[in-house]
Amino acid sequence: MKILVTLKRVVDYNVRVRVKSDGSGVETEGVKMSINPFDEIALEEALRLREAGTASEVVVVSMGDEACQQQLRTGLAMGADRAIQVALEGAMQPLGLARTLKAVIDREQPDLVIMGKQAIDGDHSQVGQMLAAIWDRPQATFASELVIEGAVARVTREVDAGLETIEVDLPAVVTTDLRLNEPRFVKLPDIMKAKRKPLDVIPFAELEVDAGVEHVIEAHEPPAQRGGGRKVADVAELVSELKQRGLL
């Protein structure tokens, strides 16, 4: 079994995000960048499946400029066998990403695609679902447990009412939730070994993908500052204050 895992380069989750002074986007200059945490969980699950003998190869893929190779090398250091960079400039929106991934899938023919349920920068939570629709294969989103039995994946997923367990035929797309696993730490010897692992660069134009019509983000702005609170003497004063503010 070959597993394809997507990795996205994002601002590290420990960094406080700042909007650029001109409102053109988020400040990334001099900011620590990391693998999207949900994608890191997806990779960890793929590696565990390989270590259990269920999978034979784990391939990581990312889209972007040369900078995203840092995250791909981290994925290789975690244990992935190969890496693929789809070289493109600028950001791409969910539909374009899904179509590009489908082109990579046509080349690689994986038996399973595992990806984070969302990226922590855009929070779209759309690419996995779009990819499954374009690929015309089953999907299991928000996975908190994944078991492979032959050509079937049994996925326990988190829903509003609790937990739901479904079975999907492979090949399929699985998106991961936070409680699926705890990603491993990368050790220095693994980082050195990762430098010798293959990292293929595919120009975006070579895939001949139609990214589709994309909406234009005109400006970014930080959330409004929260106003100060005030203490009330009793419930009656609280109700009165809420009515004055139009909340009751």
Specify the CATH number for the domain of residue 227. 3.40.50.620
Output the pTM of the full model: 0.84
Query: CA-CA distance, 65 to 31, in Å (whole number)?
Result: 16
Whether 169 contacts 151, CB under 8 Å:
yes
Q: Is the pLDDT of residue 213 over 70?
A: no
**Per-residue pLDDT for 140 more than 80?**
yes
Asked whether the predicted pLDDT for residue 57 surpasses 90, the reply is yes
81 vs 4, 63, 77, 113, 200, CA distance in Å? 10, 18, 9, 15, 12
Query: What's the structural domain count of the chain?
Result: 1
What percent of the chain shows pLDDT beyond 70? 100
Place 161 in a pLDDT band, splitting at 50, 70 and 90: confident
**Residue 28 pLDDT greater than 90, yes or no:** no
Judged against a pLDDT cut of 70, whether residue 230 lies above it is answered with yes
- Does 24 have pLDDT greater than 80? no
Instruction: Please give the share of the chain, as a percent, with pLDDT higher than 90.
Output: 62
Kindly report each contact of residues 88-93 with a partner whose C-beta sits within 8 Å and lies 24 or more positions away, as own/partner.
Answer: 88/63, 88/64, 88/204, 89/65, 92/63, 92/211, 92/214, 93/211, 93/214, 93/215
Q: Is the pLDDT confidence value at 58 over 70? A: yes
What pLDDT, on the 0 to 100 scale, is given for residue 40?
Answer: 96
Say yes or no to pLDDT of 183 above 80. Answer: yes
> What is the structure's pLDDT at 170?
95
Q: Which domain holds residue 240?
A: 2-244
pLDDT at 16: 85
Average pLDDT value over all residues in the chain: 91
The pLDDT value given to residue 210: 82
